[in-house]
Amino acid sequence: MESGFVAREAWAFEAAYQAFKSALFGAAVGILADREDAEDAVHDVLARLWQRGHAYSTARGSLRAFLIACVRNEALSRRRKSSNRLRIEQTIRPEMVEPADESLADRDRIARALELLGEKQREAIRLSFEEGLPYAEIALRLNEPAGTIKSRLSNAVRTLRAHFAAQGETL
């Protein structure tokens, strides 16, 4: 499937969607809250990657992780656009998020991994992962230099990776 995806073959795109759809939709709905918006985001990402080409190569590793990253980015940019619009319209978006259907064990595992991070690292990751802020904005919020935040986010991801690898997570 990975090589078919690299060669931009239609069957590989559909197979990738079928294999990873819960993770892709979960990534989008975690950021966008609205299920319809989230489905649009997944749809548009796959359409764009297929039509305009993509940067995935086998050197990059997991196709699943690549697609999740693409969907997260699409969702983040949609959220930035809609929050701008909302600010202009001065309306409040109804809260439509539903709890993720991941198991308790999963959530516990992620929570424990996040506990490994120092408090400052955890806050930076939270602002990035949950609020989707670029590092310069995180720096403004936390009143720290941008370079410091860059290092902190980078170190946090690498700490998590080392932890998940030690736990034998499928990485």
Partner 1 sequence: MNDPRNEHLEEAAELYALGALPDAERTAAEAHIAHCGECARRVGQAEETVAVLVGPQAPSAQLDRRIHALFVRRGGGARAFYPLVAAALIIALLPGAFFWQRDRDLRASDAVNRQAVAAMIGSHFLHSQFVKVAPDAPPAKAIFARNGAWVYVIAVTDRDLTLNAGGRVLGKLSGTGNERAIFVEHPPATKSLVLSDGSRVLAHAAVALP
Q: How far is the CB of 91 from partner 1 (least distance, A)?
A: 26
The DSSP element (H or E) to which 64 belongs, if any, is: helix 63-89
- For the chain, what's the residue count? 171
What span, in angstroms and rounded, lies between the C-alpha atoms of 70 and 20? 13
The residue to which tokens 């978006």 are assigned: 93
Chain centre to alpha carbon of residue 57: 19
Number of helices (H), then strands (E), belonging to the chain: the values are 8, 0
Q: Of 32, 42, 78, 121, which lies in the binding site for partner 1, with binding defined by CB under 8 A? A: 42
Q: Whose Cβ is closer to partner 1: residue 64's or residue 120's?
A: 64
Interface residue list for partner 1 (CB under 8 A): 8, 10-11, 13-14, 17, 21-27, 29-30, 35, 38-39, 42-43, 46-47, 50-52, 55, 57, 59-62, 64-66, 68-69, 72-73, 76, 98, 100-102, 106-107, 110, 113, 125, 128-129, 132-136, 138, 150-151, 153-154, 156-158, 160-161, 164, 169, 171
